[in-house]
Amino acid sequence: MEYVTLGKTGLRVSRMGLGGIPIQKIDAEGTKTLLHKLADRGVNYIDTARGYTVSEEYLGYALEGIRDRFIIATKSMARTKEAMAEDIEKSLHNLRTDHIELYQVHNPSMEQLDQVQAAGGALEALQEARAAGKIGHIGLTAHSVEVFARALELDWVETIMFPYNIVESQGEELISKCEEKNIGFIDMKPLAGGAIENGTLALRYVCSNKNVTIVIPGMAEEKEIEENIKACLDDSPLSEKELEEVQEVRNQLGTNFCRRCNYCAPCSVGIDISGVFLFAGYLNRYGLGDWARNRYSSLAVKASACIECGKCETRCPYHLPIREMLKECAQQFGE
């Protein structure tokens, strides 16, 4: 494994860490197996969040006995001091530890960032927790370039996490500024939320950018670990063939695709928005029409039920025209 320094935190982290979202798909025992395998392979960084339902709890269970082999990063959507203080305590409890190395402000908007930093804001709780030794460092995660740019100017921000992959290079210039300012850059969504099928190509692409400090692909199965480590540690330049494949992925996905982050939920009428887009992706892109139709038909609420209230669109960090996209899906699936 290759280790790098995570910006001004000074933490030594493996170039590849674990993205904790997919843990929600497995169970506590599966998480334990996964973590032991990661520890054996020298992966020492785990990313999770208060918002990833059972992820913190499963990780806490799985970390028993091997806690010291990992650097834990979690995050909270709390914006006030009181709510953040509560969330830090919940994270410590769930993760069964007395300290968390990195605690992040989870995806604030520009307005929420003001609130976080104002008197009585979440930052006060984070700074108090750091002074008390409950957390080690403070970071921020973002989906908008605007917030990313502003975070670069904030002294208290020690790390920034932002999506970067073959089809999302909007943060590239800002990522290089992280290096200049000694802010650790954590790459989320290296596979564009699962939209990029070829994981090896996706990780090779991201890791060929040396300004990316650490990449955190989501993993739930042991076999993914080996493949991903191999891709992350291969530092040979991308071949002509790989560059052609990169272009093919770009042509295929464009920019209006769903990253399955679920920030748009809950839908007013109960549509599983990211699920619909996932199945439509399989229907259109990967020649898995029967499978996609079958899965779509099992959805309790179909895309055609959308009442076009628009609430989901105000929450999508990628400003996707969800209502229009759902109409297309309803047409393609015929319901």
C-alpha 331 chain-centroid distance: 31
Extract the tokens encoding 219: 């993993």
- In whole angstroms, what is the distance from residue 44 CA to residue 71 CA? 6
Binding status of residue 259 toward ligand SF4 by CB under 6 A: yes
Q: How far is the CB of 266 from ligand SF4 (least distance, A)?
A: 8
The widest CA-to-CA distance across the chain, in whole angstroms, is 58
Q: How far is the CB of 265 from ligand SF4 (least distance, A)?
A: 7
Q: How far is the CB of 17 from ligand SF4 (least distance, A)?
A: 22
Binding status of residue 203 toward ligand SF4 by CB under 6 A: no
Binding status of residue 258 toward ligand SF4 by CB under 6 A: yes
Binding status of residue 183 toward ligand SF4 by CB under 6 A: no
The answer to whether 159 and 140 have CB atoms below 8 angstroms apart is yes
The answer to whether 229 and 41 have CB atoms below 8 angstroms apart is yes
Contacts of residue 307, Cβ cutoff 8 Å, sequence gap at least 6: 268, 269
Binding status of residue 324 toward ligand SF4 by CB under 6 A: no
Q: How far is the CB of 277 from ligand SF4 (least distance, A)?
A: 6
Task: Compare residues 29 and 308 and give the one whose CB is closer to ligand SF4.
Answer: 308
Extract the tokens encoding 252: 């295929």
Binding status of residue 263 toward ligand SF4 by CB under 6 A: yes
- In whole angstroms, what is the distance from residue 132 CA to residue 9 CA? 17
Which of 267, 283, 292, 329 touches ligand SF4 (CB under 6 A)? 267
Fill in the amino acid letter for 7.
Answer: G
Of 36-44, 130-138, 144-152, 308-316, the window that binds ligand SF4 (rule: CB under 6 A) is 308-316
Q: How far is the CB of 170 from ligand SF4 (least distance, A)?
A: 14
| Number of other residues whose CB lies within 10 A of the CB of residue 110 | 10
Phi-psi region of 107 (alpha: psi -120 to 50; beta: other; left: phi over 0): left
The site that binds ligand SF4 (CB under 6 A) totals a number of residues, namely: 26
**Cα distances (angstroms) measured from residue 317 to each of 30, 57, 101, 108:** 31, 27, 27, 10
Q: 3-class SS at 136? A: strand
Task: Compare residues 293 and 323 and give the one whose CB is closer to ligand SF4.
Answer: 323
Binding status of residue 273 toward ligand SF4 by CB under 6 A: yes
Which of 291, 307, 328, 334 touches ligand SF4 (CB under 6 A)? 307
Task: Compare residues 65 and 266 and give the one whose CB is closer to ligand SF4.
Answer: 266
What are the phi and psi torsion angles at 141 (to 5°)?
-120, 145
Which of 78, 203, 216, 261 touches ligand SF4 (CB under 6 A)? 261
- Rule CB under 6 A: which residues touch ligand SF4? 258-264, 267-269, 271, 273-274, 306-312, 316, 318, 320, 322-323, 326
